[in-house]
Amino acid sequence: MTSTDLIDTTILPERLTIIGGGYLGMEFASIYRRFGSQVTVVEAAPKVFGPVDDDVAAVAEGILVDEGIEIVTGAHTTEVRDGESSATVVYEKDGRQHTVEADAVLAATGRAPVIGDLGLEAAGVRTTERGAVEVDEHLRTSQPHIFALGDVNGGPEFTYVSLDDSRIVLDQLLGEGKRSTDDRVAIPHTVFITPPLASVGLTEKQARAAGHQVRIASQPVAEIVAMPRAYIVEDTRGMMKFVLDAETDEILGAALLSVDAQEMINTVALAMRHGIRAAELRNAVYTHPTSTEAFNDALATIVRSDI
């Protein structure tokens, strides 16, 4: 079933197998394990949480494993056999065939734009090799009077990006016509597991590959004294990691795995967009007791530096 099918189902599956360990797959794994399902995730990539650095991904995966979720990486699903009351998922890993029994199977391997019935060819609207509507930075298609917004245009599949798409088109139709996708800088992302994993900008690996000399501020949440909110809600799992330019103190990227990470990452992203340096974020005064106070501690701990 799809995620929509699973949400609409009123019977909790005792055994849920999820094919795909991307954002949606890991979110549903976290949700349904907390509902009480026995959850297995089968992912083809070598690791889950691929968009973040290995150290952050390992902590996030460890949290889910500790909650009882089985995560199988490097596994290629070859077949799903439907039975009378259950299904069997067949996958290959390390040259061997394995099976897992499930009461429900969630297909979370990605979605494709639904454009088959739109008659785009007849309208002269070009599509990409991946089946999305081809657009420019103003979201115009190959027909200048036609725009394509949201997931159908092949951009990032996030609700808030679709919302920004609407702003770009409205600016073309009713405004100055200057707004474009090129304006999108430091767009944050969140995987809504528990606690959430939010990230923005470059990873450490990406920053080094881009030629930056970097400083790394990284700290487990359990060691951040100035984060009372985590203790109040009794969840001190996770970590915070900031990638900083060693010469300019510019915030190049961040990964926050913690209570309220989905909110704090917006503050980091705003700072990045407006050139606010790490020292300013570190020395700012935040309300108490909140999670944002963690910036005072986490950004004061430089654990690695190129200089």
Catalytic positions: 288
What pLDDT, on a 0 to 100 scale, did the predictor assign at position 305? 72
| Reduced 3-state DSSP string for the chain | CCHHHHHHCCCCCCEEEEECCCHHHHHHHHHHHHHCCEEEEECCCCCCCCCCCHHHHHHHHHHHHHCCCEEECCCEEEEEEECCCCEEEEEEECCEEEEEEECEEEECCCCCCCCCCCCHHHHCCCECCCCCECCCCCCECCCCCCECCHHHHCCCCCHHHHHHHHHHHHHHHHCCCCCCHHHCCCCCEEECCCCCEEEEECCHHHHHHCCCCEEEEEEEHHHCCCCHHHHHCCCCCCEEEEEEECCCCCEEEEEEECCCHHHHHHHHHHHHHCCCCHHHHHHCCCCCCCCCCHHHHHCCCEEEECC
What pLDDT, on a 0 to 100 scale, did the predictor assign at position 303? 75
What pLDDT, on a 0 to 100 scale, did the predictor assign at position 111? 86
Mean pLDDT in consecutive groups of 10 residues from the start of the chain, 307 residues: 94 97 97 98 96 97 98 97 94 96 96 90 94 96 96 91 96 95 96 98 97 96 94 96 96 98 98 97 95 96 75
pTM confidence score? 0.93
What pLDDT, on a 0 to 100 scale, did the predictor assign at position 307? 59
Q: Which domains, from first to last, does the chain contain?
A: 3-107 (3.50.50.60), 121-183 (3.50.50.60), 189-305 (3.30.390.30)
What pLDDT, on a 0 to 100 scale, did the predictor assign at position 121? 93
